[in-house]
């Protein structure tokens, strides 16, 4: 059981409590919020709320989350763009819109469901029943390379490389505005946003997060950037680029709330992956092309000058 303590802002005043919860608690749908309210799990200053109640702003709301229900993760015949595969590892070019592993609201159609179908029993069990084989994650609307382990030996070796940074991940993104320098580093700790459960934030007591960035091309009002992760926190590149004052194009969570025509989610692509093979101990370096959607955005910017 988990208890969330939330404090709405003044600008949230007048919003129905079920709608506000769905917007501010990660992976909580409005119907799930209504269910929690009806079960008496949502209180304001200690008093139970009903779904028609509205946020006043400045109050304290407590939400008692039940233990997560077990999810039966089934293999699904979902096509995979496999970049590399052997008996120990598999590297996939993940499409936009695909969630990496099952979670509330995403019980199927995930990368894990697809891997279970493709690999059968050949996935490591270290990640647990919901995350077999998963060594690291990328966001639903982030595209590009992700590696999974086919056995526990490979998983342990790859996890160790995440810790010592020998598993290197390279991303390309388009950010809003023009970065003043040609390269730089953001070293700022990241943790859960203090009031918005769906977001991460730069917080003093967060986990250390380091992103190295280099300008690839400059356009009028936008910059094409390469980012190299030294650490791998949730939403790290998105939070760090927003922290520089240059959020990623299409990121409606950390940047402009208005969607970009022709673009689903943020313009962020995991273009490169380098690791030491867990069994042969030889370096493996992989890359993949940008998505058609990403290329179209670059073409538009280049035509603008």
The answer for residues whose C-beta is within 8 angstroms of residue 98's C-beta and 6 or more apart is: 109, 110, 111, 140
CA-wise closest residue to 152 among 118, 181, 126? 126
Assessment of whether the complete model's pTM goes beyond 0.85: no
Determine how many CB atoms are found less than 10 A away from the CB of residue 172.
Answer: 19
List the domains of the chain with CATH numbers.
2-65 (3.10.290.10), 73-164 (3.30.2350.10), 165-305 (3.30.2350.10)
Per-residue tokens: 298? 């670059």
Q: How far apart are CA 234 and CA 171, in angstroms?
A: 14
Comparing C-alpha atoms, which of 158, 143, 236 is closest to residue 190?
Answer: 236
Inter-residue contact 94 to 83 (CB < 8 Å):
no
Active-site annotation holder among 12, 18, 88, 139:
139
pLDDT in tens, the chain (305 residues): 577 888 888 888 899 999 888 877 766 778 888 999 999 999 998 889 998 999 998 888 888 877 655 557 889 999 999 999 999 999 999 999 999 988 766 778 999 999 999 998 788 876 666 678 899 999 999 999 999 999 999 999 999 999 888 999 999 999 999 999 999 999 999 998 887 777 899 999 899 999 999 999 999 999 999 999 999 899 999 999 999 999 999 999 999 988 898 898 999 999 999 999 999 999 999 999 999 999 999 999 999 86
Annotated active-site residue 45? The verdict is no
Q: Report which of 161, 130, 163 is spatially closest to residue 27, judged by C-alpha positions.
A: 130
């Amino acid at each position: 059981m988990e208890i969330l303590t939330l404090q709405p802002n003044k600008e949230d005043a007048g919003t129905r409590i079920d709608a506000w919860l769905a917007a501010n608690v990660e992976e909580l749908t409005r119907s799930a919020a209504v269910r929690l309210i009806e079960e008496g799990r949502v209180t304001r200053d200690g008093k139970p709320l009903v779904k028609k109640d509205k946020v006043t702003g400045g109050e304290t709301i407590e939400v008692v989350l039940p233990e997560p229900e077990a999810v039966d993760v089934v293999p699904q015949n979902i096509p995979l763009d496999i970049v590399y595969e052997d008996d120990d590892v598999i590297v996939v070019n993940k499409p936009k819109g695909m969630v990496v592993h099952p979670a509330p609201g995403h019980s199927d159609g995930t990368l894990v469901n697809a891997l279970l179908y493709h690999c059968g029993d050949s996935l490591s069990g270290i990640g647990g029943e919901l995350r077999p084989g998963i060594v690291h994650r990328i966001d639903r609307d982030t595209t590009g390379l992700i590696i999974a382990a086919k056995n526990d030996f490979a998983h342990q070796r790859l996890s160790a490389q995440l810790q010592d940074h020998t598993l290197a991940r390279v991303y390309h993104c388009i950010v809003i505005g023009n970065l003043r320098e040609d390269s730089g580093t953001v070293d700022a700790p990241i943790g859960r946003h203090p009031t918005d459960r769906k977001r991460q934030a730069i917080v003093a007591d967060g986990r250390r997060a380091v992103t190295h960035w280099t300008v690839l091309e400059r356009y009028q009002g936008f910059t094409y950037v390469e980012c190299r992760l030294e650490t791998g926190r949730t939403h790290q590149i998105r939070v760090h680029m927003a922290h520089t004052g240059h959020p990623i194009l299409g990121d409606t969570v950390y940047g402009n709330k208005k969607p970009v025509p022709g673009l689903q989610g943020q313009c962020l692509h995991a273009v490169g992956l380098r690791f030491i093979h867990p069994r042969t101990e030889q370096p493996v370096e992989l890359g993949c092309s940008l998505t058609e959607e990403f290329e179209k955005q670059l073409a538009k910017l280049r035509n603008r000058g």
